[in-house]
Every structure is written in C-alpha cells, then in structure tokens.
Amino acid sequence: MKKPVKVAITGAAGQIAYSLIFRVASGSMLGPDQPVILQLLDIPDAMEKLKGTVMEIEDCAFPLVAGIVSTADPMEAFDGTDYALLVGARPRGPGMERKDLLSANAAIFSVQGKALSEKASRDVRVLVVGNPANTNALIAASNAKKLDPRQFTAMVRLDHNRALSQLAAKTGAATTDIEKMIVWGNHSSTQYPDISHCTVKGKPAKSLVDQAWIEKEFIPTVQQRGAAIIKARGLSSAASAASAAVDHMRDWALGTNGKWVSMAVPSDGSYGIKPGVVYGYPCVCKNGQYEIVQGLDIDAFSRARMDATDAELREERAAIEDLLK
Ligand code: NAX
C-alpha cells in the first residue's frame, strides 16, 4: 500500500460533498491502492451536520480511509493537503445582486487561498467547484502567493460530461466513442460547448449532426442543464457534480493518456484569451501536469462564443479586482 495522501474537501456538510466524499474514500479518484486522509471543512454552523457525515464515513469502514479531520478552520483543513476540492461557497440569497454574490465568495476564497499558501503541500492541486467557480479560483490563486497559479483550476468537467452525453444520445454512440470535446470559458450560461474538433467513432461529429441542432439544441441544452436539473429535482446537481470533480482530479493526477478533457485554468494567451482569468480549455494531462491543447483552428462561429464567455469572466474579475492583490 502507498503512503496516505491528504485530500481536503470544503463544503463538507453540503450535498455535493455528500456524494464526493464517499467516491474519494472508495478510491474512485486516486485509485484502489491509494489511502487517503480526509480533511473536511465547513462553517461553524454546519459542524453538527458534518458530524453526521463523518459517522457515515466511519460506518462504511472504507479500507482506504487512513484518517478523518473535520474542522471549521481552513488552516487546519489545508495542513499538508495534497489535493484540495473547494466545493463550499455562499449561495445567492434573497435580494442578493450578482456583485454581492461575487464579493461574498471572494471573501471566502481569498481566506482559503491564503490558508492553502501557508499550509498545503507545495505540490497541492486545487479544484474549485463552488460558484462562481472560475472567478473563485482566480481569487484563491491570487491570494496564494507561495504557490504557482497553475496549481489552481476550476471545474467545467460537468459541462464537458453533459456535452458528451448529449452528443452520444444524438448520434447513437457511447460517450467513450467520442473524442476531443471542448468546453471553453466560464462555468455559466455563457460557456461554449464546442464539437468542431470532436470525433465519434473516428468520424467528424460535424458530419453526423447539422448546424441547426448544434445551435438550437446542443449548445442551449448543455448551457442550461443545471437549471433543468433544479427544475426537475428541486435541488441543484449534486451526484453528477461530484462525479465530474472526481474525473477532473483523477485525470489531472493520473493522466489522460493523450485524451482531451476540459479544465478551467489560468489563461496564458492561448487562443487569444489574455492572461487574467481562469478559462475553460481543452487540456491533456501527463505526469501530474496539464497542458492546454495548442494549434486548433477556430472558426468565426467559435470565436464569437469564446470571446463572449471571456468578456463575462472579465466583468466578474472587475467586480472583485480589489481582492486580487
Ligand atoms: P450546499 O449548499 O448543499 O453545500 C454547500 C456547503 O458549503 C454548506 O455545507 C455550507 O455550509 C458550506 N460552506 C459555505 N461557506 C463555506 C466556507 N467558507 N468554508 C467551508 N464551507 C462553506 O451546496 P452544494 O449543492 O453542495 O453546491 C456547492 C457549490 O457547488 C455551490 O456553489 C454550487 O453553485 C456549486 N456547483 C458547481 C458546479 C460546477 O460545475 N462548477 C456544478 C454543481 C454546483 O452547482
């Protein structure tokens, strides 16, 4: 058996965590031979509820769980952390404007960025799930002065997986038959799920579906899938979000074998997206590192959508600029 690694999960008493913790503990994320120490963070008011989740983790008697820490202190939760999944965030309350939501979350993620910078493993990999995920990741990275911004990513993998499942259903294929899916930009309704480079069983996806379906069904369905789930379930996506978080971290840590996955990472000028935002890109992962896939042709249809989601991210950034210092 390997030496245990430390996995921090914030929002640990919440609904995504209620799926995520158990997937991580069972070995889905880091493999069946990798023991984990779970470091669970939530706010003081949620400690009693978190106690219940911890009792259930204990009752699973998971062979891979080498320890459980539950706390309301980020400095304790991130002590020596190798993988941090930042799920907890402030939801939009009644009468709250978008700017208020951005500021409330910016306050949380600046504290957590600083705590990660002080306490986490120097190789920590951070995934931000809590919304607005891309901008929260930007804030955490900017506040983690002792870490590399490339250690901070945000989740667009749920959108990527939703796009795979829509295209698979339309073409009668399995999701595993599809390669080179991309979700560009923000995890919001401006995201751009792009099948321009996709293949289905080796054939160009664009030769199997028509442009009207892409524009009128595929893109809006993926963009609005979160809202559709809230309407049907009365609650936002939780198990699928947890599953996407597991996919994102597993692929980053263990590699994608050349396959493309969508990850929101600090923009570096690739595809004309200037530095300064955390943007969804096609990535491949190898040896614990991600690289943005380079050299793709971008047509006018894609360009307009990629720029629109970039513009939204720059607006979000402008609303919290003072917290980036
Ligand atoms: P819940 O409201 O069920 O749970 C959130 C938990 O976070 C609560 O237990 C709360 O006490 C805790 N929390 C709040 N502030 C905290 C802080 N400062 N430190 C630690 N914990 C804190 O929400 P849930 O359904 O689990 O969703 C969590 C977040 O994921 C939300 O922001 C949600 O919008 C976001 N999502 C992101 C997705 C993505 O693809 N990036 C998809 C799913 C989801 O909508």
ipTM of the modeled complex = 0.98
Choose one of 40, 42, 249 to mutate for the ligand 1 pocket test, by most ligand atoms within 8 angstroms of C-beta: 42
In this predicted structure, the answer to whether residue 99 has a pLDDT above a threshold of 90 is no
CATH superfamily of this structure's domain 5-154: NAD(P)-binding Rossmann-like Domain (3.40.50.720)
Mean pLDDT is lowest, of 96-100, 155-159, 289-293, for: 96-100
Close Cβ partners of 160 (under 8 Å, ≥ 6 residues apart): 181, 182, 183, 193, 244, 261, 262
Alpha-carbon span 158 to 131, nearest angstrom: 13
Residues of the chain with CATH 3.90.110.10: 156-321
* Ligand 1 centre distance from Cα of residue 89 (Å): 4
Q: Are 271 and 146 in contact (CB under 8 A)?
A: no
Rounded to two decimals, the pTM is: 0.98
Cβ partners under 8 Å of residue 288, min gap 6? 123, 125, 252, 253, 255
Ligand 1 atom nearest the C-alpha of 237 is 43
Question: SS3 for 284?
Answer: strand
252 touches 288 (CB < 8 A): yes
Q: Is residue 187 among the annotated active site residues?
A: yes
pLDDT value for 127: 99
Residue 324 is predicted with a pLDDT of 83
Of 135, 142, 36, 127, give the one whose Cα is nearest residue 86: 127
Atom of ligand 1 nearest to the CA of 16: 26
Buried residues in 261-286 as b, exposed as e (16+ CB within 10 A): bbbbbbbeebbebeeebbbbbbbbbe
Whether the pLDDT of residue 60 is over 80: the answer is yes
Whether 280 and 191 have beta carbons less than 8 Å apart is answered as yes
Mean pLDDT of 175-190: 97
- Class of residue 68 by CB neighbours under 10 A (exposed 0-12, middle 13-18, buried 19+): middle
Closest atom, ligand 1, to C-alpha of 157: 40
Q: Which residues contact 280 (CB under 8 A, 6 or more apart)?
A: 134, 154, 156, 159, 182, 183, 184, 185, 186, 187, 191, 262, 263, 264, 309
Pocket lining for ligand 1, CB < 6 angstroms: 10-11, 13-17, 41-43, 46, 87-91, 108, 129-131, 133, 155, 158, 187, 226, 236-238, 241
Q: 7 in helix, strand or coil? A: strand
Dihedral angle computed from the Cα positions of residues 12, 16, 21 and 22, in that order, rounded to the nearest 10 degrees: 140
pLDDT at 98 over 80: no
pLDDT value of position 141? 98
Taking the CA of residue 131 as reference, the ligand 1 atom at the shortest distance is 32
- Which residues participate in the annotated binding site for NAD(+)? 11-17, 42, 105, 112, 129-131
Binding residues: 11-17, 42, 92, 98, 105, 112, 129-131, 162
**Could you tell me if 8 and 82 are in contact, meaning their C-beta atoms sit under 8 angstroms apart?**
no
Look at the domain 156-321 and name its fold. L-2-Hydroxyisocaproate Dehydrogenase; Chain A, domain 2 (3.90.110)
Q: What is the pLDDT of residue 183?
A: 98
What distance in angstroms lies between residue 15's CA and the mean position of ligand 1's atoms?
8
Categorize the per-residue pLDDT at 209 as very low, low, confident or very high, splitting at 50, 70 and 90. very high
To test the pocket of ligand 1, the residue of 51, 131, 153, 156 to mutate (highest count of ligand atoms within 8 Å of its CB) is: 131
Q: Return the best residue to mutate from 16, 47, 190, 263 for the ligand 1 pocket (most ligand atoms within 8 A of CB).
A: 16
Q: Where in the chain is the domain with CATH 3.40.50.720?
A: 5-154
CB atoms within 10 A of CB 149: 17
Could you give the CA distance from residue 107 to residue 86 in angstroms, rounded to a whole number?
14
